[in-house]
A = this chain, B = another copy of it.
């Protein structure tokens, strides 16, 4: 059996990534990183997705990045934007993907897994430096030098199966693989029940994705 660690936020992209890893025959260990951004409802969503999609195990790592702020997702003083903006969005969290991939690397090494899957996407969040293919390649090169497995001849691979898909493409792919998107939460400011705001960037991209894919949108929104 091939083991893989799959980063699972509870959103649409990472749920589809988990389904892809399962389709490829991996035994999946789902890692959810709660860096201070998440409501309990989203953690619960990640746990349900891991279970429904057949992850062998799911773990939640708690790490509080709110102390140093620098992002609308970790600093209540910075508003979540409701329209696209040029450059790097304020929802960018400093070094977030590097921190999450590093934690996945640690668990992978402890498990003896040589494969890590992440649902990063370079299309929707083109302003995020740590969603670019060249960044992912550099992380993989670093990871191969960082670890026991790399030294011993079984190097780590970082899989980014949806990095170049549109949101509609991800939704079509996930639907084919049987992902129940009603379980997923994408909203940057979901309420305690996991209901979406319908106004933030993440909600907008998700809604447009279902429209473009011509697939019914199961998202539950907060009452107006």
A positions within 8 Å CB-CB of B: 59, 61-65, 67-70, 88, 92-99, 101-103, 105-111, 129-130, 132, 134-135, 138-139, 141-143, 145-148, 150-151
Number of copies: 2
How far does the alpha carbon of A205 sit from the alpha carbon of B62 in the complex, in Å? 34
Point out the residues of chain B lying under 8 angstroms from A110, CB to CB.
68-70, 94
Which residue in chain B gives the minimum CB-CB distance to A63? Answer: B63
How far does the alpha carbon of A134 sit from the alpha carbon of B142 in the complex, in Å? 9
Chain B nearest CB from A114 CB (Å) reads: 13
* Contact pick for A109, options B62, B64, B94, B105, CB 8 Å: B94
Which residue in chain B gives the minimum CB-CB distance to A110? Answer: B70
Which residue in chain B gives the minimum CB-CB distance to A65? Answer: B106
A98 near B59 with CB under 8 A, answer no
Chain B nearest CB from A146 CB (Å) reads: 5
14 A–B contacts from the bound complex (CB under 8 Å): A59-B67, A68-B107, A94-B106, A94-B107, A94-B110, A94-B148, A95-B105, A95-B146, A95-B147, A97-B146, A98-B146, A99-B99, A129-B150, A139-B146
